[in-house]
Amino acid sequence: MAAGRAAAGGLRLRLSSRLALVTGGGSGIGRAVCQRFADEGATVAVVDIDEGSANETLKSLPCDRQQHSVFRTDVTSPQSVHSLVSSVQEKFSRPPCITVNCAGITMDDLLLKMEAEAFDRVLKVNLMGTFLVIQAVAKALIASGTKGGSIVNLGSIVGKVGNLGQANYTASKAGVMALTKTSAKELARFGIRCNAILPGFIDTPMAAKVPPKILEKVLQLVPMGRLGDPSEVASACAFLASDDSSYITGANLEVTGGLFM
């Protein structure tokens, strides 16, 4: 949303001097998060399995692009995630104090037709990938003696209510919500907060795959009567990443336009 970026000039630099790692940063919500964080003064590690898309995000960031960097990573691979965190620390001489897990995929089909491979793949990217990044970043923060940190995970409102044709996706996002709460409980003693954002239907490439007739029916259920913009989710992420949310952990923040409230 152009207005969302244009308004950035009036933002407080709440994330100034902070290092943020954003998975799935090559498109959609992940790209909007990278842009918002850079607008608020953060140095951004743009992480994506698609290096070309990540570089497009890098080009869109304000200020000195040299302060930001791209890291190609497969979040389903423990080795790749370990290498990511090590590379980020080597590049910036510190671990990221902010992490946003946006990497995610859909492979939709009705439950009775869904292949086991499709179920497994979505769980690996959306849930296992989130776990691996949380674990690696938390270990790095604790080992470095860094006090504090904020981890934000992208869940989904359908992880709470279910959705036709998305047995794998809804299960993965329900898992992200539970993982977030357990991570918050375990990491609080190290000063690391962990929260989740639950978007509704957002105007992203993922939403573009939904058939128009189904999307029309969904919008009838949204009190605000429209799709959300990625920048609106990014604003919620910026709040949870900043000190404005210093006493919030283990929370699920819905950004849905009122859907399923």
Residue 199 falls within a domain, yes or no? yes
Burial class for 138, CB neighbours closer than 10 Å (0-12, 13-18, 19+): buried
Question: pTM higher than 0.75, yes or no?
Answer: yes
| Tens digit of pLDDT at every position of the chain (261 positions) | 334 444 445 567 999 999 999 999 999 999 999 999 999 999 999 999 999 999 999 999 986 656 999 999 999 999 999 999 999 999 999 999 999 999 999 999 999 999 999 999 999 999 999 999 999 999 999 999 998 999 999 999 999 999 999 999 999 999 999 999 999 999 999 999 999 999 999 999 888 877 888 888 889 999 999 999 999 999 999 999 999 999 999 999 999 999 988
Nearest one of 109, 160, 150, 154 to 248, comparing CA atoms: 150
Q: Which residues pair with 40 in a beta bridge?
A: none
For residue 77, which amino acid is it? S
- Number of structural domains the chain divides into: 1
Residue 41 falls within a domain, yes or no? yes
Given 169, 180, 237, 253, the catalytic residue: 169
Whole-number Å distance between alpha carbons of 65 and 134: 26
H helices of 42-128, where?
51-60, 78-92, 116-123
State the CATH number of the domain containing residue 106: 3.40.50.720
Q: What is the pLDDT of residue 215?
A: 83
**pLDDT tens digits, 155-187:** 999 999 999 999 999 999 999 999 999 999 999
Residue 76 CB neighbour total at 10 angstroms = 18
Residue 5 falls within a domain, yes or no? no
For residue 232, which amino acid is it? E
Q: Which residues pair with 71 in a beta bridge?
A: 47
Residue 257 falls within a domain, yes or no? no
Q: Which residues pair with 19 in a beta bridge?
A: 43
* Domain ranges, residue 194: 16-251
Whole-number Å distance between alpha carbons of 210 and 206: 8
Residue 128 falls within a domain, yes or no? yes
Phi-psi region of 249 (alpha: psi -120 to 50; beta: other; left: phi over 0): beta
Q: What is the pLDDT of residue 65?
A: 57
Has 169 been annotated as catalytic? yes
Residue 239 falls within a domain, yes or no? yes
